Amino acid sequence: MTSPPLQLISFDLCPFVQRAVITLLEKKVPYEVTYINLAKKPAWFLKISPFGKVPVLKVGEEVLFESAVIVEYLDEVYAPFMQPKDPLARAKQRAYTEFANQLFMAQYQLCQADKNLFDHQLESLKELLSRLEPVAQGPFFAGEQPHLVDWNFAPFFHRLLLLEQAGAPQLLTPYPKLAKWANNLLKRPSIQASVPEGFKEKYLNYILNQQGHLAGLISL
């Protein structure tokens, strides 16, 4: 029986679709990505996305939304299984996927913050990183082998390292385990191939165009 074709729908800077792309690349599953303009969402997209949000995964005629759900579906359907066999360990990693979502929000707020709010947002992000540092076992989240939870954190670290290289505050310096984890993730071909061509320039230009305080700290 032939599996239904997979089509991801998102926009080109979305960290959440990147999770799904990494998972598909690690599993060597064929897929297609359609990028849309969020400022002018197509009518066909609004018909299939219950909240008008990305990413969306089309599996034949069926539609899934919410990135964590999409990634878990892909992991259940396509080998190899990338979650712990132990239910408690698996639940813990799912819980930390929610923690990753908080990191994405803090990172987004930092990129948007003006000079008056920047230091507050920076401290908020540092506080989250300080909570995560003791949990990471290294070289990946749970030890020697990467799991699905690693793909859920990877887009955050990808963007953080790009910002650090462009002149943003070096947030990982006080957290050696997180720094090692981030660098191990970014060495994987799947992470590098999970974004469109020219992603670095597009992402940094996006930050510059926000005209927040961070824009004055970075350069291409």
What is the distance between the alpha carbons of residues 213 and 207, in angstroms, rounded to a whole number?
A: 10
Domain annotation for the chain: domains and CATH numbers: 6-77 (3.40.30.10), 87-216 (1.20.1050.10)
pLDDT in tens, 192-220: 999 999 999 999 999 999 999 999 999 98
Strands across the sheet containing 56-59 = 32-35, 6-10, 56-59, 62-65
Is pLDDT at 57 greater than 70 in this prediction? yes
Is 111 designated active site?
no
Its sign, for the CA torsion 106, 155, 111, 177, is positive
Give the gyration radius of the chain's Cα atoms.
Answer: 17
**pLDDT recorded at residue 3:** 67
**pLDDT recorded at residue 5:** 83
Q: Is 87 helix (H, G, I), strand (E, B) or coil?
A: helix
pLDDT in tens, 13-42: 999 999 999 999 999 999 999 999 999 999
Active-site residue, selected from the candidate residues 9, 14, 122, 142: 14
Q: What percent of the chain has pLDDT over 70?
A: 99
Is pLDDT at 93 greater than 70 in this prediction? yes
Residue-averaged pLDDT of the chain: 96
Mode of pairing for the β-strands spanning 6-10 and 32-35: parallel
What is the distance between the alpha carbons of residues 102 and 115, in angstroms, rounded to a whole number?
A: 22
**pLDDT recorded at residue 189:** 97
pLDDT in tens, 134-176: 999 999 999 999 999 999 999 999 999 999 999 999 999 999 9
What is the distance between the alpha carbons of residues 132 and 97, in angstroms, rounded to a whole number?
A: 12
| HSE-up of residue 102 (Cα within 13 Å, Cβ side) | 13
Scan for tokens 């979305």, then name that residue.
Answer: 14
